[in-house]
Amino acid sequence: MTENNIVRGIDNNLWINTNREKTDESVKVPVLPKALDIIKKYSQDKILSKTGNLLLMSSNQKVNSYLKEIAKDCGIYKNLKFHVARHTFATTVMLSNGVPNRNSFKIIGTYKINNYPDLCTGGGE
Protein backbone atom coordinates (compact mmCIF):
# COMPACT_ATOMS: atom_id res chain seq x y z
CA MET A 1 0.00 0.00 0.00
CA THR A 2 1.34 3.40 -0.99
CA GLU A 3 0.23 6.99 -0.39
CA ASN A 4 -1.66 6.76 -3.70
CA ASN A 5 -3.98 4.19 -2.07
CA ILE A 6 -5.11 6.67 0.62
CA VAL A 7 -7.87 8.94 -0.63
CA ARG A 8 -10.31 11.39 0.93
CA GLY A 9 -13.88 10.23 0.37
CA ILE A 10 -17.01 12.26 -0.22
CA ASP A 11 -17.60 11.94 3.53
CA ASN A 12 -14.30 13.83 4.02
CA ASN A 13 -12.77 10.77 5.78
CA LEU A 14 -9.67 8.90 4.65
CA TRP A 15 -10.14 5.62 2.80
CA ILE A 16 -7.81 2.93 1.48
CA ASN A 17 -8.64 2.42 -2.18
CA THR A 18 -7.18 -0.77 -3.64
CA ASN A 19 -8.00 -3.85 -5.71
CA ARG A 20 -8.21 -7.44 -4.45
CA GLU A 21 -5.30 -9.48 -5.79
CA LYS A 22 -7.26 -12.59 -6.78
CA THR A 23 -10.29 -10.91 -8.37
CA ASP A 24 -8.99 -7.40 -9.18
CA GLU A 25 -12.24 -6.16 -7.61
CA SER A 26 -12.12 -2.60 -6.27
CA VAL A 27 -12.24 -2.32 -2.47
CA LYS A 28 -12.55 0.80 -0.33
CA VAL A 29 -11.74 0.49 3.38
CA PRO A 30 -12.17 3.29 5.93
CA VAL A 31 -8.93 4.32 7.63
CA LEU A 32 -9.71 4.06 11.35
CA PRO A 33 -7.91 6.39 13.79
CA LYS A 34 -5.62 3.64 15.15
CA ALA A 35 -4.64 2.62 11.62
CA LEU A 36 -3.84 6.24 10.79
CA ASP A 37 -1.66 6.42 13.93
CA ILE A 38 0.27 3.36 12.74
CA ILE A 39 0.72 4.79 9.24
CA LYS A 40 2.00 8.06 10.72
CA LYS A 41 4.36 6.17 13.06
CA TYR A 42 6.12 4.52 10.11
CA SER A 43 5.95 7.50 7.75
CA GLN A 44 9.61 8.41 8.39
CA ASP A 45 10.99 4.86 8.14
CA LYS A 46 14.04 4.83 5.84
CA ILE A 47 13.35 1.38 4.38
CA LEU A 48 9.74 2.25 3.61
CA SER A 49 10.68 5.56 2.04
CA LYS A 50 12.88 3.65 -0.45
CA THR A 51 10.10 1.23 -1.40
CA GLY A 52 7.26 3.75 -1.41
CA ASN A 53 5.16 1.46 0.81
CA LEU A 54 3.37 2.84 3.87
CA LEU A 55 3.86 -0.34 5.94
CA LEU A 56 6.29 -3.22 6.12
CA MET A 57 4.99 -6.34 4.40
CA SER A 58 5.31 -9.86 5.79
CA SER A 59 4.44 -13.18 4.17
CA ASN A 60 1.55 -15.24 5.53
CA GLN A 61 4.13 -17.71 6.87
CA LYS A 62 5.91 -14.97 8.81
CA VAL A 63 2.63 -13.56 10.14
CA ASN A 64 1.66 -17.07 11.28
CA SER A 65 5.02 -17.37 13.05
CA TYR A 66 4.46 -14.03 14.82
CA LEU A 67 0.91 -15.05 15.81
CA LYS A 68 2.27 -18.28 17.29
CA GLU A 69 4.76 -16.28 19.42
CA ILE A 70 2.08 -13.83 20.54
CA ALA A 71 -0.31 -16.66 21.46
CA LYS A 72 2.38 -18.36 23.52
CA ASP A 73 3.27 -15.13 25.34
CA CYS A 74 -0.42 -14.49 26.08
CA GLY A 75 -1.19 -18.03 27.23
CA ILE A 76 -3.49 -18.71 24.29
CA TYR A 77 -3.59 -22.39 23.45
CA LYS A 78 -5.24 -22.13 20.08
CA ASN A 79 -3.37 -22.60 16.82
CA LEU A 80 -3.59 -19.01 15.57
CA LYS A 81 -3.16 -18.46 11.85
CA PHE A 82 -3.67 -15.49 9.55
CA HIS A 83 -7.14 -16.81 8.68
CA VAL A 84 -8.16 -16.62 12.36
CA ALA A 85 -6.81 -13.06 12.56
CA ARG A 86 -8.81 -12.15 9.46
CA HIS A 87 -11.97 -13.60 11.00
CA THR A 88 -11.33 -11.75 14.27
CA PHE A 89 -10.84 -8.51 12.37
CA ALA A 90 -14.10 -9.06 10.51
CA THR A 91 -16.14 -9.94 13.59
CA THR A 92 -14.75 -7.39 16.04
CA VAL A 93 -13.10 -4.38 14.44
CA MET A 94 -15.52 -4.02 11.57
CA LEU A 95 -18.65 -4.75 13.61
CA SER A 96 -17.68 -2.35 16.39
CA ASN A 97 -17.02 0.40 13.84
CA GLY A 98 -20.35 0.00 12.07
CA VAL A 99 -18.98 -1.38 8.79
CA PRO A 100 -21.93 -2.94 6.93
CA ASN A 101 -21.85 -6.74 6.52
CA ARG A 102 -21.72 -6.47 2.72
CA ASN A 103 -18.58 -4.32 2.95
CA SER A 104 -17.03 -6.56 5.60
CA PHE A 105 -17.28 -9.61 3.37
CA LYS A 106 -15.84 -7.70 0.45
CA ILE A 107 -12.95 -6.28 2.52
CA ILE A 108 -11.85 -9.67 3.86
CA GLY A 109 -12.34 -11.26 0.46
CA THR A 110 -14.86 -13.94 1.26
CA TYR A 111 -18.18 -14.91 -0.18
CA LYS A 112 -18.73 -17.87 2.19
CA ILE A 113 -21.11 -16.19 4.57
CA ASN A 114 -21.51 -19.38 6.63
CA ASN A 115 -17.85 -19.04 7.74
CA TYR A 116 -18.68 -15.75 9.48
CA PRO A 117 -21.91 -16.25 11.46
CA ASP A 118 -21.08 -13.28 13.72
CA LEU A 119 -21.35 -10.95 10.74
CA CYS A 120 -24.78 -12.32 9.93
CA THR A 121 -26.19 -11.13 13.26
CA GLY A 122 -24.91 -7.56 13.33
CA GLY A 123 -22.62 -5.06 11.72
CA GLY A 124 -24.95 -2.31 10.69
CA GLU A 125 -27.34 -4.18 8.46
* pTM, entire model: 0.60
pLDDT digits (tens, 9 = 90+) for 70-124: 989 999 888 888 777 777 777 777 777 777 766 676 667 665 666 555 555 444 3
Query: What pLDDT does residue 65 have?
Result: 92
Q: What burial letters (b/e) apply to 52-83, b meaning 16+ CB within 10 Å?
A: ebbeeeeeeeeebeebeeeeeeeeeeeebebe
**Alpha-carbon distances, residue 75 vs 2, 60, 71, 114 (angstroms):** 36, 22, 6, 29
Structural contact between residues 64 and 70, judged by C-beta atoms closer than 8 angstroms? no
